[in-house]
Structure 1
Amino acid sequence: MKTVQVDVAVIGAGTAGLGAYHAAIAAGARTAIIEGGDYGTTCARVGCMPSKLLIAAAESAHAVRKSSGFGIHVEGIIRVDGHEVMARIRRERDRFVGFVQREMRVIPDEDRIRGHARFLNDHTIAVSDHIRLTAGSIVIATGSSATYPDSSEALGDRMIVSDDVFDWLDLPKAVAVIGPGSVGLELGQALHRLGVRVVVFGRGGGVGPISDPEIRSYAIAAFNEEFTLESDTHIETMLRDGDRVVIRRMGANGSRETDSFDYVLAATGRIPNVTGIDLNQTTLRLDAKGVPLFDPATTRTMSTDGESTIFIAGDASNFIPLLHEAIDEGGIAGKNAALLALGKPVNPGLRRVPLGVVFTDPQIGIVGGGFHEMKAGTFATGQVNFENQGRARILLKNKGLLNVYGDLMTGRFLGAEMLAPAAEHLAHLLSWALQNNMTITQMLEMPFYHPVIEEGLRTALQNLEIKLYQMREKPRRSGRG
C-alpha cells in the first residue's frame, strides 16, 4: 500500500469538495482531493441544471398553449417530441458536466486520487486499499444520494428517482410522483406540461418548503388548477403489473381510487453520503442519522474530546443542501482545514441568510427561516395578491401570493414566503435586504420601476408598514383610557 502525507485531504470532488480543495491550496496547504465516482457535481449531473433544462422545455410548450390569451392562435396540434426534448437535456447536461471535468483536469495529477475513501482514524484514510493517506486535517464533502422507498425492490425499474429521469430517451405517458417537495413539484409540473399524465402524492398536506398556512393553501389550489396534487393521501398498495405500476390509495375525504402509471418517481429527498466511509473509526460525534455534528460557522466537526480536525461541507452535512451553500461551505472548510493543519487558528466564515427558490410556475420563494421561524406576537405580516398586479396581468402571469414579515418592536424586515411570478428575483431582493438588516421603511425608500413585478413587493411592504404602525399604536391608545 502506497503511503501519502498531505496537510489537507478532501474526500469528494463535487461542488463543496472542489471549493474546499481550491481554498486549502490558496491558504498554502499541500492538499489532495479524493473521488471514488465519476467526476461531475450533483448539480450538473442530476440536479439543478438538467432539471431546469426539463422545466425550460415545459415552459416553452406551456407558452404556446397559453398564446391564445394574447390573441395569438396556433393552428393544429401542438406536438411535443419526447425524443428531441430528452436529447437536448442529455446533450446540455453532458456539456455542463464537461465544464466540471475540465476543472478537475487543471488540478495536478499528484493532487488527484481515484478510489473509495474510508477512515482508519481521525488523521488517516485508506483509498480503495491501494493508498494510505495521512493528513493534518480532513474535509468530508461526499455529497448526497436520492432515497428509494421500501417498495422500490418490488417495483424494479418502474420505481425511479430524479437522477434517472435525465437518462430517459423518451417521455413516458403517465408518472406518479411520490413527494410534493421541491423536486417533486418541479419535475411533476414540467412533465405535465410536456404531455405526461402526472399525479403528485403527499402526506400531511405539505407543499415544497412552504410553512406559511396562507401561502400553502393558495399553492395547493393553484397547482391543482393545472395538474393533480393530492397533498394528503394514503397510498395503500403499489404493485407491479407488467411494465406498469398500479397504485391504490385513500384520499383525505376517505374515497378509494386505483390508477396505473408507467413509472413511480420517488421524490422523497436525499440522504448524506456518510454511511460508507467508516466514520465509526473516528472520534466524531454523530447525530441520529449518522451525520457528524459540526459548527456551521466554521464547518468544524465535533469529537468526543471536543473540537475535531475534521471538517464537513456541502450536502454531506445535511445542513442547507443547496449549491450556493455548498460553494460557501466548501470555501470555509478548505480554508479552515488548511489553517488548522498549518498550526493557525480556525475562523468563522461568511454565512449568508437562508434563500430558497423552487422553479415551479408560479415559483416558490423562501427568505430567511420563513414563517415557521416567526414567534407569535412579535411580528406582523404584509401581503400582496398578484391576481390584479399590473405587470403580472400584462404577462398573463397573474397568479400568486406574497407574505412579508416585520418585527413589531424595531420595524426590521424578518423574512418572506411566496408563491409568485418571478419569485427567484423577488426572493433575491428580499434576501439582500434581510442580510443588511433593513427596516421596512428603508426598503420602501429603495427605487421601484413601473411597470414591474417588483411593484407587487412594494404593495406588500406598504401593507406591512401600515400594520406595524397600527399594532405599535394600539397599546398606546388603550393605555390612555
Structure 2
Amino acid sequence: MADKSFDLIVIGSGPGGYVAAIRGAQLGMNVCCIEREHLGGICLNWGCIPTKAMLRSSEVFHLMHRAKEFGLKAEGIDYDLDAVVDRSRKVAAQLSGGIGHLFKKNKVTAIMGEAKLDGKGKVRVKTDKGTEELTAKNIIVATGARARELPGLEADGERVWTYKHALKPPHMPKKLLVIGSGAIGIEFASFYNTLGAETTVVEVMDRVLPVEDAEISAFAKKAFEKQGMKIMQKAMVKKLDRAKDKVTAHIEVGGKVETHEFDTVISAVGIVGNVEGLGLEEAGVKIDRTHVVTDEYCRTGVDGLYAIGDIAGAPWLAHKASHEGIMVADLIAGKHAHPVKPESIAGCTYCHPQVASVGYTEAKAKELGYEIKVGRFPFIGNGKAIALGESSGMIKTIFDAKTGELLGAHMIGAEVTELIQGYVVGRQLETTEEDLINTVFPHPTLSEMMHESVLDAYGRAIHM
C-alpha cells in the first residue's frame, strides 16, 4: 500500500463507518476504512438486512395460508428452510459487495485487517500480509457491538444460538425458547413461530418490547399469543441444562422456578460494545459498561478521536450510526453539524405485526411533566387496511396540550415501519397538530390513519 498517511481513518465498515468514510471522501478528504471481517458490518451481513429477507419469506408463507380469504387457491403449501436462508445470504452478499463498489467510486482506501490505536493520530493494522502503521489527523472508531452472553446461557451453535446461528440455523426448531423480547428476540420469535416452531418468549421486564409504549406492548402480546406464542413476562432464565437433542430451561417466574424442555434456545439479551484490543484506554478514552463515552458530537475528549454507532451507546440502531458518521465527517470538514437527538430517531421492529415508534411514550411524556393530548386510531377503521386484509393494528399520537408539539407516535400493524417516517419528518420540522390536521393525506392509504390519530387527539376524528 503506497499511501500510509490520511486525513481520516475509520475503524469499522458498518452503517456508521462506511457512511462516515464516504461522506469524508465527498468532502475532499483522503480516507481509509479498516474492516476485520465483512464490508457492511453486522447490519448488512448478520443483522438488519438478512433478518428482513428471512422475515419476508415467513410473511409470504403466512399469506399463502390465507389464500382462500383473497379468493385464491394454494395447495400443498410448504417451505424449504435452506432455500430461505440461502436467499437471505444472497441479499446480504449483494449489499456487502455494493459497499466495495461505493468505496471505489468515492476513492476510499479499504483495508481488511485488525486495527489498533498506536499513539496520537496513529493506527497499526494487522493484515494477512503483516503489520502496517497508518497516520491520520482524525480517527473515527465505529467498531459496533456483539451479542451479550450471560453466564450459563452462552451460545454453543447447536442447541443454544445467538442471532448469527439463528440466521444460518443448523436445524429447524420444533420447540423454541427465545430469551429477551427486544427487537432481535421478537423478530426471530416471529420468524420461527410463523414457520411452525412452538415458540416461548421469556422477558425479564413486565412487558414484551419493553422500550415501546405500554399500550403497544399490550397489543403486541395479544397478537403474538393469538399466533400461538407463549409469552412469559417478569420471568428469568436461571440456567440451561444441555443434552444432545434438548435443553432444559430453569425459568424463575412469580418467585418459583419452573423447568421447561426445548430443542432450541435463542439468546437475545442485549449487546456489548466491541471496545477490546483497540488501545482505547491507553489513548485516554473513557469507557462505561463496554461503551465509549462521547459528547453530543461523538467526540471522545481525545483530540481528533471520535466514536460513532453502537460502540457509542444507545439507541443501538443502524440509522443512528449512519447519521452520526455524516455528522462527524461534516464536523471534521468544518461544516455546520447537527447533533443527533435520540428522541427523534425512530425504532422499527419487523415482527408480525410490525411495530414502529418515535419520540416519547405516554408514560415518559407524563414523567417529564408534559400535559398531554393523546389520539388513537384502529386499522379496522381504515379502508386500505381492510382491502389488504390487515385490519388489526393501531396508531397512537401524543401531543403537548399547551403548544401542540408532536411529542411521540407509536404504531403497530401492517407496514408501520414505512409509515413512521411521516411523523419523524413532522418532528424534525417542529410541526404542530394544526399543520398535521391541515395536511391532506391521500386516499385510500394506510397513512390516513396517521391523520385520524392526530384528529382524535383533538376530538375531531371522522371515521371513528
**Same fold flag (TM > 0.5):** yes
Is 218-227 or 383-392 further displaced after alignment?
383-392
Alpha-carbon separation, structure 2, partners of 1:377 and 1:415: 12
8 Å CA contact retained: 1:354, 1:369: no
Query: Equivalent residue of 1:121, what SS?
Result: coil
CA gap of 1:209–1:355, structure 2 versus 1, over 3 A, is: farther
Shift of 1:67: 2.6
Give 1:94-109 correspondences, 5 Å limit: 94-106=93-105
1:153 deviation in Å?
Answer: 4.6
Task: Work out the CA distance in 1 between the residues paired with 2:459 and 2:402.
Answer: 14
- Give the one of 333, 343, 350 matched to 1:359: 350
Q: Distance in 2 between matches of 1:51 and 1:256?
A: 31
String of CA shifts for 1:176-199, please: whole Å, max 9, x gaps: 111101011111111111122222
1:402 aligns to what? 395
In structure 2, relative to structure 1, the CA distance for the partners of 1:152 and 1:203 (3 Å cut) is closer
Task: Say whether the 8 Å CA contact 2:176–2:198 is kept in structure 1.
Answer: yes
Question: Are 2:338 and 1:349 equivalent residues in the alignment?
Answer: yes
Gaps of 5+ in 2: none
Can you give the 5+ residue segments of structure 1 that lack an aligned partner in the other structure?
340-344, 468-481
Paired with 2:345 and 2:312, the residues of 1 have a C-alpha distance of: 16
Q: Percent same amino acid among aligned pairs?
A: 24
The one-letter amino acid of 1:359's match is Y
Taking a change above 3 Å as real, the CA distance of residues 98 and 155 of structure 1, as seen in their structure-2 partners, is closer
Residue number in structure 1 paired with 2:125: 127
- Tell me the distance in 2 between the aligned counterparts of 1:253 and 1:401: 34
Provide the aligned C-alpha RMSD in A.
2.7
SS in 2 for 1:428: helix
Flag the 1:136–1:377 CA change in 2: closer, same or farther, 3 A: closer
- How many correspondences in the alignment? 452
Match of 2:313 in 1: 318
Partner of 2:36: 36
SS at match of 2:111: strand
3-state SS, counterpart of residue 192 of structure 1: helix
1:299 alignment partner in structure 2: 298
Residue of structure 2 equivalent to 1:168: 169
Instruction: Provide the secondary structure at the position in 1 that maps to 2:443.
Output: coil
Map 1:8-19 onto structure 2 (within 5 A). Answer: 8-19=8-19
Q: Alpha-carbon deviation of 1:240?
A: 0.6
In structure 2, distance between residues paired with 1:451 and 1:279: 54
CA positional deviation for 1:376: 4.0
Shift in alpha-carbon separation, 1:452–1:167, aligned structure 2, 3 A: same
When residues 241 and 9 of structure 1 are mapped into structure 2, their CA distance, relative to the original with a 3 A threshold, is: same
Using the alignment, how far apart are the partners of 1:26 and 1:64 within structure 2? 46
Q: Tell me, yes or no, if the aligned pair for 1:146 and 1:163 is still in contact at 8 Å.
A: no
Output aligned runs, 1:272-311, within 5 Å.
272-286=273-287, 288-296=288-296, 298-303=297-302, 308-311=303-306
Paired position in structure 1 for 2:258? 256
CA gap of 1:35–1:312, structure 2 versus 1, over 3 A, is: same
Aligned pairs (5 A) from 1:444-463: 444-463=437-456
Q: Secondary structure at the match of 1:130?
A: strand
In the alignment, the residues of structure 2 paired with residue 151 and residue 335 of structure 1 have an alpha-carbon distance, to the nearest angstrom, of: 45
Q: Supply the distance in 1 between the matched residues of 2:262 and 2:169 (Cα, whole angstroms).
A: 20
Q: Do 1:249 and 1:257's aligned partners in 2 also have CA atoms closer than 8 Å? A: yes
What CA deviation, in whole Å up to 9, does each residue of 1:135-162 have, x standing for no partner? Answer: 2221111122122222245856322111
State the alpha-carbon separation in 2 of the partners of residues 154 and 326 from structure 1.
27
Do 1:211 and 1:371's aligned partners in 2 also have CA atoms closer than 8 Å?
no
Query: What is the CA deviation profile of residues 231-257 of structure 1, one whole-angstrom value per residue up to 9, with x for unaligned ones?
Result: 332324311111321223244495834
2:198 maps to 197
d(CA) in 1 for partners of 2:246, 2:71 = 41
Using the size of structure 2 for normalisation, the TM-score is 0.89
Cα distance between partner residues in 1 of 2:442 and 2:6 = 55
Distance 1:314 1:153 in 2: 25
Matched, 1:435 2:428: yes
DSSP-derived class of the 1:138 partner: strand
Q: Is 1:46 aligned to residue 37 of structure 2? A: no
For the residues of structure 2 that align with 1:269 and 1:193, how far apart are their CA atoms? 23
Quick one: distance in 2 between partners of 1:231 and 1:168?
26
Cα pair distance change 1:210/1:316, threshold 3 Å: closer
Asked if 2 retains the 8 angstrom alpha-carbon contact of 1:83 and 1:170, the reply is no
Structure-1-length-normalised TM-score: 0.86
Residue matched to 2:237: 235
Letter paired with 1:7? D
The equivalent residue for 2:24 is: 24
Bigger mean CA offset, 171-180 vs 148-157 = 148-157
Hey, what's the Cα distance between the residues in 1 that align with 2:282 and 2:391? 56
User: Deviations for 1:185-237, whole angstroms, at most 9, x for unmatched residues?
Assistant: 11111111112222211112232254422222222122111122223323243
**Deviation at residue 164 of structure 1 after TM alignment:** 2.0
Cα contact 2:7–2:29 (8 A) shared by 1? yes
